[in-house]
Amino acid sequence: MISTTVQGILAGFVPEEHILIQEPLSRHTTFQVGGEADCVILIETEEELSALNRYLNQIGLPYFVLGNGSNLLVSDQGFHGIVLKTKGNFEKISTNGNKITAQAGALLSQIAKEACEQGLTGMEFAAGIPGTAGGAVIMNAGAYGGEMAQVVEQVRLIGQSGEVFTMTNAALEFGYRKSAIKNLPFIVTEVTFALQKGEPEQIRAKMNELAAARREKQPLQYPSAGSTFKRPEGYFAGKLIMDAGFRGYSLGGAQVSEKHCGFIINKGNATAQDISDLIQEVSEGVYEKFRVRLEPEVIRIGSF
């Protein structure tokens, strides 16, 4: 629980209506599961985020920053601390020449749409990724042969003391589903993408082609966190899972998708524990059969 004293101090940083006490995190994640956070604070400006980051570090209160909640599994017991969720002004996108600057809360789909409208190519792969710019940089999100490492020029961040600084692409040390800031106490506030000039019609055609492929191959009608596991070197996670006999396998309300075995979906009444247990069971089953260890791409928050 957040004390009334701390609540009062928080109200000095953001409008009181942006402070949500005992807020169900199932409302803020694409899995649509998870218990309550002690407090969710809706953040609209870098100044708010910087001040809150400095204060929360000073008092030692646990917190994490949430974008679209698309790569997250929150425990049924919730999160005992504060969730900082970007919204409003933190979703702005602007274009200058061949560069697009997006606030951390901007959806990748909207950034890709802006790039297409401006005749800029390079973001087509990201149009169907259900995440935000901030989270995408941290995880080096990618699909269909593209990834953030190919298009990010620089990132604006906030440090533990509230200081604002930038990191270039080289300093970010991108790797497969990781970056240098993944395990550092920095918060992404803005991302600048360097793209190439292209023909809007060709860009749109490519985006439509990839969207059709997603509809055909992915279980988009069910809540999920996208690809559940990282791709093991030399293999495809979905094929390993299918060949291990897990296609359509259910545990409680969670299921290995029949359409794409790389996805674990919420069939409608799953708990976070159902999903976590199924991830574990699939991982162990694949290892037992093929001696290949599947590493979850989904980040767990809270106690499981």
Question: Catalytic positions, please?
Answer: 177, 227, 297
d(CA 224, CA 210): 19
104-127 burial: b if 16+ Cβ within 10 Å, else e: bbbbbbbbbbbbbebbbbbbbbbb
- Name residues whose C-beta falls within 8 Å of residue 81's C-beta, 6 or more positions apart in sequence: 37, 38, 39, 61, 62, 63, 64
d(CA 112, CA 115): 5
Q: Give a three-class secondary structure readout of 115-131.
A: HHHCCEECCHHHCCCCC
Query: Taking a C-beta distance cutoff of 8 angstroms, is the pair 94, 103 a contact?
Result: no
User: Residue 104, SS3?
Assistant: coil
d(CA 40, CA 85): 7
Query: Taking a C-beta distance cutoff of 8 angstroms, is the pair 294, 237 a contact?
Result: yes
